[in-house]
Amino acid sequence: MARYKVKRYDDGSIVTTDSTTGAISYGLPLYAKKCNPSTELTVNDSLGGNGTDFLDGTAVTGRAYKYLVINDDAVFAVLNDSEGNDMLVDQFYATQTVGKGMVVRANDGNLIADITMSSGSAKGVK
């Protein structure tokens, strides 16, 4: 007898039932339908399959990241997106401590391009 029963709905969501415990879990599909190339999300991208970098107090330029995952509470001295927008001002990060576990993304599908951290550390996901 199968232990797990999976039901997929038209919107792509998934419901999994464990027949032994009766536990139910809800989830989204592992990939989104392709709307346009700039919004497509794949498991490979979301799990850092295109590469990651460890970031700390050293200034980072010449590289770009889809998002940052904060490892240790962080304060940014410089945080600009690929269009040159100051994310410290645009997203209210100036003088703020960004907590461990938070995800930092640029607006409008831009990448994060220039980073200097005053304290803390992060993982940059390419």
In whole angstroms, how far apart are CA 87 and each of 13, 28, 29, 32?
Answer: 33, 29, 31, 27
Strand intervals (E) in 1-126? 4-8, 14-18, 24-27, 52-55, 67-81, 103-105, 112-125
pLDDT value of residue 57: 81
Contact status, residue 106 vs residue 90, Cβ threshold 8 Å: no
pTM as predicted:
0.64
The pLDDT of residue 62 is above 80: yes
Task: Compute the average pLDDT of residues 93-102.
Answer: 86
Q: Please tell me the number of Cα atoms within 13 Å of 120 on its side-chain side.
A: 23
Does position 102 have pLDDT exceeding 70, yes or no? yes
pLDDT, average across residues 18-35: 52
pLDDT number for residue 90: 86
Task: Judge whether residue 11 has pLDDT over 80.
Answer: no
Residue with structure tokens 């889809």?
66
| Cα–Cα–Cα angle for 102, 42, 46, rounded to 5 degrees | 20
Could you tell me which residue, 10 or 92, shows the higher pLDDT?
Answer: 92
Residues 75-82 have a mean pLDDT of: 93
